[in-house]
Chain A
């Protein structure tokens, strides 16, 4: 259509759009006028009035049809059709509110589950850092060490070399999580912040709302720049939104820091899972972490670093360049960098934070919610099938009076769109409500909740819109397939309820139910596997007692204790605690089992053990105080525990675990034998039972203990075996602590059981989410089965009545209907079992001590599915058994 034509047609189009009735009326008037004139003409020809009218109408053809053709000829607006369809669709849906509500509810659950999981994937894996610019080009940088599976941090000097030489990198920055005590008034509180390079705020494109970010040079020198940028939250809560805050000081780990900036609201730093409260430059690192000044030590690896690649640079290109840089570093600094290469990780694989532990769960969740969506769609499709059967009369009439099949299809798609749009809107509301669900499922740590929000940004919205479209197609096309079979005459002739006519549609409905049962069965198996796995994890003994033991820590480094002072303090505190009623024993240990800190390890040599040529035995160990094993309840199998006398002046000793005895001494008693640790020979004085060290699902491994005083750390964890509640123990410990030094803070105190729970929290999250969705799927499938069976019963009342008249009793009919339902279920379960056998492998990463093919689990899922199906069929079956043969057959 060219411009000239538009000049004439546009007014017409506008009119028919804004005043459709007026245009329609005129068209009808024109046709009426024609008819009248023809009648007059006929009368003039000598026909009777009645004859004249009949003849005129006959000449004209069907009036309604012509009207419709005229409307079509006017090429009415697509939009106008759409609005008409929309109105009609809404009316149709309102006419059967029960059906509509059920359909929308199903879709809301299906789409909502998807939107929620996508929002988590977006907010935790893909765009985890609110307000940070260009996250799609951001990559984590970490060292990979030959022979070690998990990535390691870089040293500051390595980072500087990387930054200097990486031409593909637009920016690179360092951020490293740290705890700190915050001195408020006369007491100290613990909070979490980041140690960052000076370019941090510029590199991530976040600008403080008050004051400034760091200036270049502030990350140089030893403890030389005590400046801090605080979070919006801290500014608002602790400093009451003081606009004159810049230039004031805040003591962090007992060192006064000048507040130079306030971060914007909604910025939480760059660590998945935590909201950072403050940022300090790397020059202050030692004050927070202790263990010496590291900025000039290439062997001190603590830097969590990120690069943003230049636009258009692929990860592979950047990786190649960075590998070259790493090789150069190996050559230049062999003593520190031998065997160390440097790798890039996408944010969702980030080795530094909680993204990693949630990744496998979210992967599984994406698949699970896709299943739920399919089940929901199948359900709605089924509902629509039943309804379209009811509506076939309407459809035939519309076809008969001249609607094209295309037009009908448009109408059905519009109705599908209404349903799916409502479902999508509901789904987004649901996702919004669930955005903090993950945080709620994970245990609170260190007094602060985790920060793992779902993000409903444009990308998630687009994903939702895409799902909405797909659902519209499915939901609209299923009943459209029906109209394909519509012939004009059949339904118009009579409301036939012949069984034959229903067969093809019945097949489709059954197919949908089988499909639903199949998918829900897969989900059930998955949920049951995870449940079984969690059960085993939670009931596995870690090898130490968990309930009556509290773990905490004392901020000695923050308070500036040196080694001799720390030693004295530790002895004094243990003496004071042991004297308290209700405390059975107390002992320091460098690392708490199943905690987030990893155990040190050392290459060892064992008297009388000849390692294989390519074997370099390396074993993890822990530095523990006197009475540690007794405090934790780890059985001592032979020999003795460490005593106070095993100090730096005494001969070096160690306690080894049973697996180590088996591995290196062939199971013979090692008491009195020697083992070389970090180049020094120590004598074995005891054998401890095996226990869990880093995770519940680890296999027994060699491990040993050395006395804390012989391998000292200033800030070990404190383990307390108590008969009191945690609260009263905490109060007592605080009292004793402050009696010794008012400036010391106690870290969060938890039971070892809590420690175990935290370590297994990801499994708990997986179980909770998958079983919730599995239950949902089961419910949807049950509704689907119920719908199909009710419909089948309603359709075959005649047959049922006949059977009854021929002598079947209520029990027979009950059995008949239930067995029909169970046939469908069995079909679904068969397909589901085959699919589950192929799919449950994907869960392996989340399973502990459970085979993905565990027969018990499959049987359990089978039982649940069958029972549910029975219940779903019960009501229709009962209704069938109540068929009144006399009434049915007479009618």
Chain B
């Protein structure tokens, strides 16, 4: 895996939590949404999505239920748990703090 993808790894959890905070979705839909909102910039492969989902589930931040979808196909629907909501708030705050600091540095005028 290349370096930029590692950078994404750290924030991928936060993005998934954010997406699920808006509405419960299955894995496919999450991947579509990820591509859509990040405009393919982050290049999240489907390969790294599912391990991340399983990790979040096991940490108790999201929970999964099997539901029958419209074409009568079973789909695993992920939703945020209260614990996940708290985690999202924490990570968002953290992100804001870090990104503010970084952009502050980046925007410094060279003397």
Contacts and interface: CB of A to CB of B under 8 A. Distances in A.
Given A8-B60, A34-B27, A73-B52, A60 B76 contact: no
B51 A73 contact: yes
Contact of B73 (A31, A33, A59, A73): A33
Interface in A15-39: 26-27, 29-31, 33-34, 37-38
Given A8-B83, A9-B60, A60-B47, A33 B28 contact: yes
A61 B31 CA distance: 14
Contacts of A9: 57-60
* Centre residue among A29, A30, A70 by max chain B CB count within 10 A: A30
A507 interface: no
Interface in B32-84: 45-47, 50-52, 54-55, 57-61, 63, 66, 73-76, 81, 83
Interface residues of A, number: 30
A65 interface: yes
Contacts of B45: 59-61
User: Which secondary structure characterizes the binding site on chain B?
Assistant: helix
A206 to B, nearest CB: 57
Nearest to A65: B47
A34 B31 contact: yes
Nearest to A76: B58
A8 B63 contact: yes
A26 B57 CA distance: 14
B58 A73 contact: yes
A75 B61 CA distance: 15
User: Which secondary structure characterizes the binding site on chain A?
Assistant: helix
Interface string A635-665: 0000000000000000000000000000000
B47 A70 contact: no
B49 to A, nearest CB: 9
B60 A73 contact: no
Interface of A: 1, 4-9, 12-13, 26-27, 29-31, 33-34, 37-38, 59-62, 65-66, 69-70, 72-75
B54 A27 contact: yes
Contacts of A37: 28
Given A33-B73, A61-B45, A66-B47, A73 B55 contact: yes
A74 B46 contact: no
A74 B58 contact: yes
B46 A73 contact: no
A293 to B, nearest CB: 84
Given A9-B60, A74-B58, A30 B51 contact: no
Given A8-B83, A13-B58, 10 more contacts: A8-B81, A30-B76, A33-B73, A34-B27, A37-B28, A59-B46, A60-B47, A61-B46, A70-B50, A75-B55
Contacts of B58: 9, 12-13, 73-75
A731 to B, nearest CB: 87
Nearest to A10: B60
Nearest to A13: B58
* Centre residue among B31, B51, B52 by max chain A CB count within 10 A: B51
B87 to A, nearest CB: 10
* Centre residue among A12, A61, A73 by max chain B CB count within 10 A: A73
A72 B60 contact: no
A9 B62 CA distance: 10
A836 B60 CA distance: 63
25 contacts: A4-B60, A5-B60, A8-B63, A8-B81, A9-B59, A9-B60, A26-B76, A27-B54, A30-B27, A31-B50, A33-B75, A34-B27, A34-B46, A34-B50, A38-B28, A38-B46, A60-B45, A61-B45, A61-B46, A61-B47, A62-B47, A69-B47, A69-B51, A70-B50, A74-B55
Contact of A70 (B28, B51, B61): B51
